[in-house]
Amino acid sequence: MSGPAVFDPQTLPADDNVNAYTFCVDLHGQWFLQKGKMIAYYGRISFDGVGHGRLDRLVAGSFHSPLHAADWVVAEGEGKMLLADRAFDVNSYDLEDGNLTVRSGNLLAFQPGLSLKQSVIPGFLTLIGTGKFVAASNGPVIFAEPPIRVDPQALVGWADCPSPCHHYDHQYLRGVLGGVRALTGLGGASGEEHQFEFTGAGQVLLQSTEQLMAERDTGSVPGQPGVPGGPPAPQQGGPQSRFGL
Amino acid sequence: MLAVDLAGDGVKAKNGSMVAYDGRIGFKKLTGGGDGLRGMVTRRLTGEQMEVMEVKGHGTCWFADRATEINLVDLRGETLYVEADNLLCTDSGLRTGTTFTGLRGASQGNGLFTTTVEGIGRAAILSDGQAVVLRVSPRYPLQVDPGAYVAHTGKLKQTLQSGVNFRTVLGEGSGEAFQIRFEGEGLVYVQPSERNTVGGNV
């Protein structure tokens, strides 16, 4: 048996995966990384927390929610840099003048050509622009075309403009008994009564497990009525209205 | 999972790492890491404890530990430096010992000492996710996050490099405040995951 492949700066791939769990960035300039995802590098690279000094302008261009800029690091310099995240699968994606929304915990790194915004959906981040980004997933990622209904735990993100909404399976939830069943789990709940539904043109990214990756705080949203995740709007009815009772 | 074919010879393996075997194989706990009395005393003193068993007999034995990835390292007289936690199994012909690592160990939270494996044979090391092997040459020094470092071989000089500045104190640190810099000639094994380290949160 031959030994494992040995890499040096010449043989490391440029902007590609080294193995399923490690991504190599050929750095000439700047990249944004989430804190603590760099595992090794060759060359001269400096790491700075964003949100101060000469990087301030960059932040203004790429981060539109300074509230969570503290979780990000700017890698600057020349060299090859290896990124990985808790031995999860990592993949790179190219965006060309497009947009992609991804679960906050899954995003690892992106080029400054992209700008990062908080999604209106709590816990998700949206990338807009042109460039490459790296995201982690628990198991390989599957691309699916809408219309599709997906399990909330398997959802990694979506590109372009499908419209995501909640979907409740009325077969289970119809009637008083169904409501009781869904709330308590008594009488057998399949665990699949609730899905996310996507319609419209675009792509939906799914991971091949229902094990979630740890969420990362995306920063709080301005506390005003009408903002999802903000203070609750005055309730119209009780929780029964959810089930059509 | 690692399968070892034994034909009368033996291997040293991490205690409790056997998951299955066929044939006639005996397991014997080796006290104090299996490096003899002197080694036992050193390990006690340094805290680089290693629970080792000797596996001997005829047949095939399978080893695994917490579903982590296993990497085989062929040694031809070189020295492998590895954390005791990451060492799964060695040929019985290989000598194991402890060595002082200095500040690097302290930043990793693994203590000031590390385990060495010397001789001719094969060792199996554990990593969280498939390890990446990186070559270090005089032209290309390598910087590694302390939490992702697993092992190294060859003649390497390691220094702890820190990027701590006043911003770290202000809580605006980069999360990459500490790196181990490897210089010289050798191979470094890096895992695609970071242990929780003292330095990692700065």
Kindly report, residue by residue over B69-84, the tens digit of the pLDDT.
Answer: 888 888 888 888 887 7
Q: Which residue of A has its CA nearest to B142?
A: A42
- Could B74 and A3 be called an inter-chain contact, meaning their C-beta atoms sit closer than 8 Å? yes
Residues of B in contact with A216 (CB under 8 A): none
CATH code of the domain containing B48: 3.60.160.10
ipTM beyond cut 0.85: no
Tell me which architecture the domain covering A14-137 has in CATH: 4-Layer Sandwich (3.60)
Residues of A in contact with B141 (CB under 8 A): 42
Both tokens of B156, joined, read 């390497």
Instruction: State the pLDDT confidence band at B168, using cuts at 50, 70 and 90.
Output: very low
**Residue B19: pLDDT above 50?**
yes
Over chain A (245 residues), the average pLDDT of each successive run of 10 is: 68 83 87 83 79 56 57 82 85 84 84 80 82 85 82 82 70 56 54 74 80 60 59 53 52
A8 interface with B at CB cutoff 8 Å = yes
- Residue A87 and residue A44: Cα distance in Å, rounded? 25
* Residues pairing with B166 in the sheet: none
Interface mutation vs chain B, best among A22, A73, A85, most B CBs within 10 Å: A22
**Residue B48: pLDDT above 50?**
yes
**Residue B44: pLDDT above 80?**
no
Provide the chain A residues 112-131 that lie in CB contact (below 8 A) with chain B.
none
Least reliable range by pLDDT among B6-10, B117-121, B150-154, B176-180: B176-180
- Domain boundaries defined on chain A: 14-137, 139-210
- Could A4 and B188 be called an inter-chain contact, meaning their C-beta atoms sit closer than 8 Å? no
Shortest distance between the Cα of A132 and any Cα of chain B, in A, equals 20
Buried b (16+ CB within 10 A) or exposed e, A25-52: bbbeebbbbbbbbbbbbbbebebbbbbe
Residues of A in contact with B130 (CB under 8 A): 19-22
Cβ contacts below 8 Å, chain A against chain B, sum to: 118
Shortest distance between the Cα of B128 and any Cα of chain A, in A, equals 6
Give residue A149's pLDDT: 83
Residues of A in contact with B74 (CB under 8 A): 3
**Residue B108: pLDDT above 60?**
no
Q: Which domain holds residue B139?
A: 2-201
Provide the chain B residues 28-67 that lie in CB contact (below 8 A) with chain A.
none
Give residue B179's pLDDT: 78
Give residue A1's pLDDT: 35
Give residue B36's pLDDT: 61
Instruction: State the pLDDT confidence band at B169, using cuts at 50, 70 and 90.
Output: very low
Give chain B's domain count.
1
